[in-house]
Amino acid sequence: MKFLFYSYDALITDIAWQVVKEGHEVRYWIREKKAKSVGEGFVPMSKDWKADAEWADVVVFDDVLGMGEDADRLRRSGKAVVGGTPYTDRLEDDRGFGQTELKAFGINIIPFEEFTSFSDAIAFVKANPARYVIKPSGEAQNMKGLLFVGEEEDGRDVIEVLEDYKRAWANQVQSFQLQRRVLGVEVATGAFFNGREFVYPICVNFEHKRLFPGDIGPSTGEMGTAMFWSEPNKVFNQTLRRMEPALAREGYVGYIDVNCIVNANGVYPLEFTARFGYPTISIQQEGLLTPMGELRPGATHRHHVQPFHGSRMDPASLAVIGIDPHHPLRPAIPEREALTLLFREIRRAVRDADCTRAVLVGHNASFDLAFMNAAVARTDMKRNPFHPFSSFDTATLGGVAFGQTVLSRAVIAAGFDWDPAGAHSAIYDAQRTAELFCAVCNRFRGIYEETAARFPADTDDPAHDAAAASDGEAEQVRGTD
């Protein structure tokens, strides 16, 4: 695949290099002039990111600070994009807006005040003495040394720092926030978002900001991070998970986390990181089994379906899959409703991938496709996103790639776990089949890319055009049949 990495000041160099090492074509654009030479010799550099965005299959933006506008524009044009939107950029860049959005979603926040004048902030602290944290907003928040955590109950240390900033940083710090200091454990929770929903597991991380061990010395941007992967926990469920509808509305794709203070009274979000974290993404990379640039299964969609009128169900088969289709607590929906919901998601994926039809992937796919086509005909569905006769059969592909045609053996041969207790449930078999298909595609990626280079999709070759026309006629005839 072809990747374009767009960086603010070269923070994502290591990830771009990793994708190069995996065999992908990469071009790397760095916005800041002072950082433009970072990565030269390791990653091919881009001279014109807008032209290279047309060339790339995937465009990756590594920061906020206005990148969300470019990312959103490319995403809306049909390009596969990892990056933010103007809304998600603002969650991080505008601290006050981020806090307001958290409150709007019913999330506890710490009292804060926004300022554009150091004199006004000094007057506020004098009138309301307490412990405060000084947090620059916008681009100035990248100067991590300017964040100051007050220790004095009367706020006199905060006043002294504000007076220093007024003399030295008034031109660089255009806006900032004073947030009441709350004691507790500082912890961040985050997850990758695929444009529709969070992808689990989540990541829990702890930043170490002091210069020296033992939590002593001046604050830095970050001296190190400890992290672990987890299923959704209380901190995540009370914060980021509530933001899922807003992120889905935006079509956000990438990593997002929120830093929090946790104490006996509750969870209090401090600020968003609506992008890759640094060094977070590099540490996460060490915990990922899947290479950074490989094809991976997407979201899972499932529904319990009511038996259609006149259906014949073999009791022995039902015993194998463990389903009682008439159980009163089974939340089943009519077949047509289930197909409508599933087809809506599939059409969205087809559109996002800039394709025209979906191709069914299955283990013994001809059976699955016949089953699907029969359901479509039975329910009189008019907008079937699947190609009427093309399919990818993982029984065949597994035999070619791994020498195994039985699903369980092919999955194990591909390097995945197999749970006999989960086998034969529709969702388990579908997920393992998807993993197997992606593993085969990734194994043969080099052959595909070589062929794609020799036979591009857009060609003026008369033989190619004639073959395409012939295929179209065949599809029309078979579709009518």
Our answer to whether residue 424 is catalytic in this structure is yes
Supply φ then ψ for residue 101, to 5 degrees: -65, -40
Q: Closest Cα to residue 203, out of 242, 251, 256?
A: 256
Q: Which of 208, 301, 387, 424 is catalytic?
A: 424
Q: Let me know the angle formed at the C-alpha of 424 by 422 and 428, rounded to the nearest 5 degrees.
A: 55
Q: 253-263 and 185-194: which strand pairing?
A: antiparallel
Cα(128)–Cα(126) distance, integer angstroms:
6
Strand partners, 194: 253
Q: Closest Cα to residue 83, out of 63, 97, 66?
A: 63
Cα(468)–Cα(481) distance, integer angstroms:
20
What CA–CA distances, in Å, run from 316 to 30, 235, 473? 62, 45, 43
What CA–CA distances, in Å, run from 295 to 427, 440, 443? 20, 10, 10
Catalytic residues: 424
